[in-house]
Amino acid sequence: MIITRTPLRISIGGGGTDLPSYYTRFGGFVVSAAISQYIFVSLNRMFREGYLLKYSSLEQVAAVDEIQHPIFREVLRRHNGHQYLEIDSMADVPAGTGLGSSGTFTVGLLKAIYAEKREFISASALAEEACDIEINVLGRAVGKQDQYIAAFGGLTCFEFHQDGTIDVKPLSISDETLVDLQQNLLMFFTGYSRNAMEVLSDQKQRSIEDDQAILENLHHTKELGIAAKEALEHGDTARFAAIMREHWENKRGRSKGMSNDCIDHWYEVAMANGALGGKLVGAGGGGYLLFYAEHPMRVRRAMAREGLRELNFRFDHDGSAVLFRD
C-alpha cells in the first residue's frame, strides 16, 4: 500500500497570470503558499481484475477506458493500463472551494503511481506532468500554480516565461515575518462552492481574443503579485495587506461572477472589525475569504456572528510526500 499527502494552497498574489493563454504572451508571476490542509491518496494492488476507485463517488470497472473520472482515467491510461488497483482519495476540504483541489489531486495521484512503481520523480517534473494532463490532455482552462505549489510546498514564487519555462524560488522572508503571517492570516468559508473553470474559461477566451480590459487587469495583477513579494521580503506586512485589498478590487473587475452581495457584505464586516486587507481565494464566485488582520480575535468574533466558519491552517513546507509505503 502507498499513501501520499499533498497540500492545498492559498494564492498570495498574481493568481490568474499562470494561465498559458496569458503567460505565453506576456509572462506571468505568482506567489503561492501551501497550507496544512491536504488531499490524501491511497493506492493498493488488488487480487481480482479491475479498478476500484473511491472519491466522492465509487467506480468499479474492468478496464481503464471505462473510468468516468477524467483525471483517474488519464493518469492510469498513461501509467498503469495493465495493472489492477484500488485507489482511495480523501480531502480535508470540499472540492470547488478555491484551494486548488483539482491540481492537488492530480499531483498526489501521480506521486502515488510513481511510488508504487518505485520510480523517482522531481517536484518540477511531477508538477509539469500534472499540468500536461489537466491542460493539454483534458483541455481544462486552468493555470499552473496549483500543481506547482502542491508539488513544491512552502511559500514559493513562480515566474512563468513565454517559452513555457518556469522559475521556482522560495519566498525569501524572515522567521519573524513567517510567524506574523501565521498568526494574522485568517480564512473563512463562505458556504459557496463553484466550478472554477467557468470563470477561468471566460478569462482564457477573452485573453485569446485580445480583450484589452482583461489583459490590462491581468497586467496589473502581475504587478501586484510582484509588489506582494517585495513587501513580504521587506517584512512590511501592512503594505502586503493593502496590496491584498487592491488585488481584490482588481480581481472583482475581472468577471461579473467573481463576487456576490453576501461575499461583499462579509468582506466589509471583516474590514470594519480589524482586517487590514483581504481577498477571495481561488478563481472567484465562492470558497474562502482570506484576510490579514491587525486584530485577529475581533475579526474571528465578527465572522462568527455572521455564521462563517474559520479554517485553521499552518504553512506546509514539504509539498507532495509519501506518508506510507508497505
Domain boundaries, given as residue ranges, for the chain: 2-173+316-325, 175-310
By mean pLDDT, which of 36-40, 97-101, 231-235 is the weakest?
A: 97-101
| Helix locations, the chain, DSSP H | 20-26, 70-79, 101-116, 123-131, 145-152, 175-184, 196-208, 212-233, 237-252, 261-271, 296-305
CATH placement of domain 2-173+316-325: 3.30.230.10
* Mean pLDDT over the full length of the chain: 93
Residues 71-115: pLDDT tens digits?
999 999 999 766 789 999 999 998 888 899 999 999 999 999 999
Using the Cα atoms of residue 166, residue 169, residue 170 and residue 171 in order, give the sign of their dihedral: negative
2-13/51-54 β-pairing: unpaired
Give the model's pLDDT for residue 193.
Answer: 64
What pTM, to 2 d.p., does this model score? 0.95
Give the model's pLDDT for residue 269.
Answer: 98
d(CA 294, CA 268): 15
Mean predicted confidence (pLDDT) in 184-193: 88
> Are 103 and 146 spatial neighbours (Cβ–Cβ below 8 Å)?
yes
In this structure, CATH architecture of domain 175-310? 2-Layer Sandwich (3.30)
Q: What is the DSSP letter of 49?
A: S
Is residue 192 very low, low, confident or very high in pLDDT (cuts 50, 70, 90)?
A: low
> Are 145 and 156 spatial neighbours (Cβ–Cβ below 8 Å)?
no
Is residue 319 very low, low, confident or very high in pLDDT (cuts 50, 70, 90)?
A: very high
Q: What is the DSSP letter of 257?
A: G
Give the model's pLDDT for residue 309.
Answer: 95
